[in-house]
Amino acid sequence: MQLIDGKALSNKVQANVATKVEQLKQEKNIVPGLAVILIGDDPASHAYVKMKAKACEKVGFYSITHSMPDTISQDEIIATIEMMNNNPRIDGILVQLPLPSHVDTDKILEVIDPKKDVDGFHAYNVGRLVTNLDTFVACTPLGVMKMFEAYDISLKGKDVCVVGASNIVGKPMASLLLNAEATVTITHIHTKDLKAHTSRADIIVVGVGVPKLITEEMVKEGAIVIDIGINRIEDGSLVGDVDFENVSSKCAYITPVPGGVGPMTIAMLLSNTLKSAKGRII
Ligand code: NAD
């Protein structure tokens, strides 16, 4: 069994982004800029935004966080996004999810200029992903693809089972895998017999938010298991969706939680923002 070290790979990607940012500054006088919109006081959202701001600073980006109370109106959020759409110093706009229940998330995401949609959630970019055109791709699934690439894991013709079908994780993951010519099965909470699908997969990619959902008997010998889940359990520690202790010995490769997909998500956000900033000179 080999561990896929997301932390080390993320550091490598971030160092590469920092070098390119320096070049962009020297040669074109461009400093990539990221705007984060944070609504309410959900501690997890605050922690993620803090990590993202720190990472931006580390690679030399300009970054601003618009923090708003959860009583804010939808129109005020839209006005802030439009301001960022028109701000030439901003290359990427990220609205930290989840949003309060009085806000229509789909509507908000559609207001972001697709050229600044570094989270890849806008329907325009999702459509381009599905049709296999160059676009901004959701950071978490993009990070998983980087892991496959870094560890020379070929996807062509492989049976891949994606567990979880959300717009931000499972669906873009499945599109990327399909674009890479894997045979993809997408499963979700209403799937009748999850084990029947996972146990014949060469690769399982799981992102559902249920600790230990994937157990030993659901994984075939020599499979590759990518765990996107992040769950905080009673003792305060973070675990994924895979019963790592019992599953790992059966795997050819497996990602740990923490230190797996999580750090790659941030690295891909930086990489997407850099890509957007480079677009200023095209
Ligand atoms: P979500 O609630 O929007 O979607 C969950 C998906 O899992 C749904 O498609 C649902 O049908 C499916 N599901 C739920 N229970 C299931 C079950 N018992 N069997 C099969 N399918 C089941 O969640 P999300 O936003 O997609 O996030 C999923 C997980 O990924 C969470 O743990 C989240 O914290 C984590 N996540 C991690 C990163 C990262 O950077 N590593 C990024 C985003 C989300």
Tell me the C-alpha to C-alpha distance, in Å, between residue 75 and each of 14, 23, 65, 71, 107.
Answer: 35, 38, 18, 12, 11
Compute the distance from residue 33 Cα to the ligand 1 centre, in Å.
29
The ligand 1 atom nearest the CA atom of 188 = 21
In a domain, 180, yes or no: yes
- Relative to beta strand 238-239, strand 231-232 is antiparallel
Query: Which residues are tagged catalytic?
Result: 52, 96, 119
For residue 220, give the DSSP letter: -
**Same domain, residue pair 64 and 156:** no
Distance separating alpha carbons of residues 32 and 56, to the nearest angstrom: 9
| Predicted confidence (pLDDT) per residue in 140-149, tens digit | 999 999 999 9
Give percent of the chain above pLDDT 90. 99
Split into its structural domains, the chain has a count of 2
In 10 A of CB 184, how many CB atoms? 22
Confidence of residue 281 (pLDDT cuts 50, 70, 90): confident
Closest-CA residue to 226 (of 244, 243, 204): 204
Distance separating alpha carbons of residues 141 and 14, to the nearest angstrom: 17
Distance separating alpha carbons of residues 69 and 11, to the nearest angstrom: 33
The set of protein residues with a Cβ atom below 6 angstroms from ligand 1 is 140, 163-166, 168-170, 187-189, 191, 194, 207-210, 213, 228-231, 261-262, 265
Mean predicted confidence (pLDDT) in 219-233? 97
For a mutational test of ligand 1's pocket, the pick from 7, 109, 142, 166, i.e. the residue with the most ligand atoms closer than 8 A to its C-beta, is 166
Q: What does the mean pLDDT of the chain come to? A: 97
Lowest mean pLDDT among 79-88, 191-200, 272-281: 272-281
User: Is the confidence at residue 7, as pLDDT, over 80?
Assistant: yes
User: Is the confidence at residue 181, as pLDDT, over 90?
Assistant: yes
In a domain, 207, yes or no: yes
Listed residues 88, 120, 152: the one ending a domain: 120
Confirm whether pTM is higher than 0.85: yes
Mean predicted confidence (pLDDT) in 41-52? 94
**Same domain, residue pair 168 and 223:** yes
In 10 A of CB 60, how many CB atoms? 16
**Same domain, residue pair 179 and 254:** yes
What the block records as the tokens of 87 is 């701000």
Residue 84 backbone dihedrals phi, psi, to 5 degrees: -70, -35
For a mutational test of ligand 1's pocket, the pick from 10, 187, 198, 208, i.e. the residue with the most ligand atoms closer than 8 A to its C-beta, is 208
**Same domain, residue pair 87 and 161:** no
The helix/strand/coil state of 207 is: coil
CATH number at residue 206: 3.40.50.720
Compute the distance from residue 165 Cα to the ligand 1 centre, in Å.
8
**Residue nearest atom 23 in ligand 1 by C-alpha distance:** 208
Listed residues 58, 90, 120: the one ending a domain: 120
In a domain, 127, yes or no: no
- Asked if 204 and 219 touch (Cβ cutoff 8 Å), the reply is yes
Range of the domain at 216: 139-261
User: Is the confidence at residue 46, as pLDDT, over 70?
Assistant: yes
How many Å separate Cα 155 from the centre of its chain?
Answer: 19
- Asked if 203 and 176 touch (Cβ cutoff 8 Å), the reply is no
**Same domain, residue pair 83 and 171:** no
**Same domain, residue pair 96 and 143:** no
What the block records as the tokens of 133 is 């055109």
Q: What b/e sequence results for 249-263 when a residue is b if at least 16 CB atoms lie within 10 Å of its CB, and e otherwise?
A: ebbebbbbbebbbbb
In a domain, 92, yes or no: yes
In 10 A of CB 100, how many CB atoms? 16
Overall residue count recorded for the chain in this entry: 282
Mean predicted confidence (pLDDT) in 173-189? 98
**Same domain, residue pair 167 and 88:** no
User: Is the confidence at residue 275, as pLDDT, over 80?
Assistant: yes
**Same domain, residue pair 77 and 154:** no
- What pLDDT is recorded for position 282? 58
| Predicted confidence (pLDDT) per residue in 22-33, tens digit | 999 999 999 999
The CA dihedral of 44, 47, 51, 53, to the nearest 10 degrees, is 110
Mean predicted confidence (pLDDT) in 207-223? 98
What the block records as the tokens of 98 is 């989840």
